[in-house]
Structure 1
């Protein structure tokens, strides 16, 4: 007997700050609280531990320089 392939359910969510749309395969427990990585780092600049070349590529102004 052949196994049937499971079909993945896709959930689409919008970032509340930037408006970007994301697709996931898991349902979010509180989709109204979701923010993108970019929005998170804008809210918490002291936790931005990305390398300098990545920040430069994204056009983020760093306060370390």
Structure 2
């Protein structure tokens, strides 16, 4: 499993097809994803500005994650 507190990283992972398993925590949320050997390469490309994703999917996934965060408070 891969865990992150970053909404942006969680959005990227969802957009490239990594499956979200759960959202944990009360005040500070942690997004938990299925483990995948591609995650390190995806994050490296994201950090270096080399990752290309569909912007509509990215924005839609970002809205979905925000909904999950704010409805669980």
TM-score range, shorter chain: under 0.3
More helix by share: 2
Output the TM-score relative to the length of structure 2.
0.25
Output the TM-score relative to the length of structure 1.
0.27
More strand by share: 2
Higher RCO (CA 8 Å, separation ≥ 6 residues)? 2
